[in-house]
Amino acid sequence: MSKKIFSGVQPTGNLHLGNYIGAIKNFVKLQNDDDNSCIYCVVDLHAITVKQNPKELKQNIRETAAAFIASGLNYKKSIIFNQSLVPSHSEGSWILSCIARMGWLNRMTQFKEKAGKDKEKASVGLYIYPILMAADILLYDATHVPVGEDQKQHLELSRDIANKFNLDFNSPDFLIAPEPLIQKNFSRIMSLKDGTKKMSKSDPSELSRINLNDNKDEIFNKIKKAKTDTEPLPDSEEELSNRPEAENLLGMYASLNDQSLLSTINEFSGKNFSAFKDKLANLIIEKISPISEEINKLLKDQKFIDQILSDGAQKADKIASKKITNIKKIIGF
């Protein structure tokens, strides 16, 4: 069945191996299935829910777009654009914020995590962030949304908003309730320093993550220093249950090599970490270095990236503004 795919990534700094394995690799796979139509958005309006440096933001928007393209997203086949170039996202977000209920937003765990202890000081934008995300998705009638596990609750909210809008305005099936597409395996890549914490852009330690633009030496060094335990590598999946670092590193290997965790375990069982780490570092270099080189090449031609984003925005705007017009008609404007 053909799917309408929409997904977004925030331009808030270097993309890392977690973003690649958990999200972008899957974006490419979905794009390469001919039946799907895909829209991939650099969600810059989401980025400003926390303070950004304007110069860095501009650069990060280009870097995220470059990472998309370098990873294999094809701007001729998929629509690639940044959110702030299409006004319907902001407009849709306001309208949908009148549909969403406070009680629904109060349940969002990501807000609680991101706002931290002092919620009074969080921006209102951070609080209503999931409504903007719902607008992103619903404006394009997306049927499927590839995201990491952490975004599942926001997808549920998008479904609730779509259903309530349709019910309130007696317009069945007008807004499409989207399905999340969450990878069964390797949907959470963990920090290299702590196998119980997610690999994240916001971790202050550079050694916790592999960035998509790390060079070979950096990759080797980070994998060499990655936390492990003292046992040799296990013989079975069960033995991994209390060994988060071993599970994480084996999972990275399996995912990058497109093989199952079990066959990876079989390949390395009984070996010590240093031999495995060598192989893992080489595999990461093999898969990531071409992407990193391409990102750097693309970033040298900013006009080219800006053109891709504005061409993508024009295509996106055609779809989104039509939907907004219909939304307004339904509402009575």
Contact partners, residue 107, CB within 8 Å, separation at least 6: 153
- Per-residue CA distances from 281 to 30, 31, 271 (Å): 27, 28, 16
CA 56 to chain CA centroid, Å, is 19
Pick the closer one to ligand TRP by CB: 149 or 301.
149
- In angstroms, rounded to a whole number, what is the distance separating the alpha carbons of residues 169 and 220? 57
Site membership for ligand AMP, residue 9 (CB under 6 A)? yes
Pick the closer one to ligand AMP by CB: 27 or 276.
27
Site membership for ligand TRP, residue 43 (CB under 6 A)? yes
Q: Binds 18, which of ligand TRP, ligand AMP, none (CB < 5 to 8 A, cut-off by type)? A: ligand AMP
With CB under 6 A as the contact rule, which of the stretches 24-32, 146-154, 206-214, 323-331 interacts with ligand TRP? Answer: 146-154
Q: Amino acid identity of 20?
A: Y
| Residue span 234-273 as binding mask against ligand AMP, x where in contact by CB under 6 A, dash where not | ----------------------------------------
Q: In the numeric block, which tokens belong to residue 323?
A: 């939907």
Please name the residue that has the structure tokens 């009074």: 120
Q: Which long-range contacts (CB under 8 A, 24 or more apart) does 322-325 make?
A: 323/88, 323/92, 323/138, 323/139, 323/140, 323/141, 324/88, 324/91, 324/92, 324/139
Pick the closer one to ligand TRP by CB: 23 or 66.
23
With CB under 6 A as the contact rule, which of the stretches 119-127, 143-151, 215-223, 274-282 interacts with ligand AMP? Answer: 143-151
With CB under 6 A as the contact rule, which of the stretches 18-26, 106-114, 115-123, 243-251 interacts with ligand AMP? Answer: 18-26
Shortest separation between residue 201's beta carbon and ligand TRP, angstroms: 10
Structural element, H or E, at residue 137: helix 124-138
- In angstroms, rounded to a whole number, what is the distance separating the alpha carbons of residues 28 and 71? 7
Q: In the numeric block, which tokens belong to residue 195?
A: 């196998």
With CB under 6 A as the contact rule, which of the stretches 100-108, 120-128, 160-168, 182-190 interacts with ligand AMP? Answer: 182-190
Q: Given the DSSP bridges, would you call strands 37-42 and 4-9 parallel, antiparallel or unpaired?
A: parallel
Shortest separation between residue 151's beta carbon and ligand TRP, angstroms: 5
| Residue span 152-191 as binding mask against ligand TRP, x where in contact by CB under 6 A, dash where not | --x-------------------------------------
Q: Binds 211, which of ligand TRP, ligand AMP, none (CB < 5 to 8 A, cut-off by type)? A: none
> Which residue is catalytic, options 152, 164, 201, 216?
201
Q: How many residues bind ligand AMP (CB under 6 A)?
A: 16
Q: In the numeric block, which tokens belong to residue 258?
A: 């497109």
DSSP 270: T
Q: Amino acid identity of 22?
A: G
**Angle subtended at Cα 241 by Cα 236 and Cα 243, rounded to the nearest 5 degrees:** 95
Residues lying near ligand TRP in the complex (CB under 6 A) are found at: 6-8, 10, 43, 46, 133, 136-137, 145, 147, 151, 154
Q: Which residues are catalytic?
A: 114, 198, 201
Where along the sequence are the contacts to ligand AMP (CB under 6 A)? 9-10, 18-19, 22-23, 147-148, 150-151, 187-189, 198-199, 201
